């Protein structure tokens, strides 16, 4: 994409974005489906107690829901870097790794007690990725499209 951006070929940049996001979504959907379908056998690879095994399966299933959003966020980071929008790429990274994950997880660890409620702690990982994708889409709409007006 950066090469086509340097050539000022808007059509090829847009085509690269579409294909890149499409391939990313497809591969991540396969990975998410694999984890969802095989969470029990994957957790069985470890020597876990029955309670820990159930928590592990719940964790894998909840966190894998965020895979699609995470993959698209990473793809958008590449788009921004190719379009010389490094700050936007940094904002996505900070949202994805810090802002939308750490505070809610910390708050939930203070509030949640007991193994039956521990699954709640994993939801900010999936929901944080979805929120980050919204941020990425807004940034793309505001900044990246303007960069391609040539």
3-class DSSP string for 7-56:
CCCHHHHHHHHHHHHHHHHHHHHHHHHHHHHCHHHHHCCCCCCHHHHHHH
Does pLDDT of 114 surpass 90?
no
Q: What is the mean pLDDT of residues 123-138?
A: 95
Does pLDDT of 150 surpass 90?
no
Q: Which of 116, 122, 148, 129 is nearest to 51 (CA)?
A: 116
Could you give the percent of the chain with pLDDT greater than 90?
77
Q: What tokens were used for 2?
A: 């950066």
pTM score, whole prediction: 0.87
Q: Three-class SS of residue 114?
A: coil
Q: What is the mean pLDDT of residues 29-42?
A: 94
Residue 80: the pLDDT is: 94
């Amino acid at each position: 994409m950066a090469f086509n951006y340097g050539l000022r070929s808007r059509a090829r940049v847009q085509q690269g974005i579409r294909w890149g996001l499409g391939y990313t979504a497809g591969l991540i959907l396969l990975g998410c489906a694999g984890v969802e379908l095989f969470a029990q056998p994957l957790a069985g690879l470890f020597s876990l107690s029955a309670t820990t095994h159930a928590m592990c399966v719940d964790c894998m299933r909840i966190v894998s829901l965020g895979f699609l959003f995470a993959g698209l966020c990473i793809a958008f980071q590449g788009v921004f870097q190719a379009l010389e929008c490094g700050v936007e790429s940094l904002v996505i990274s900070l949202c994805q790794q810090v802002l939308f994950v750490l505070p809610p997880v910390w708050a939930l660890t203070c509030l949640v007690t007991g193994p039956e409620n521990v699954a709640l702690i994993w939801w900010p990982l999936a929901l944080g990725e979805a929120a980050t994708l919204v941020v990425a889409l807004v940034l793309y709409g505001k900044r990246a499209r303007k960069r391609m007006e040539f």
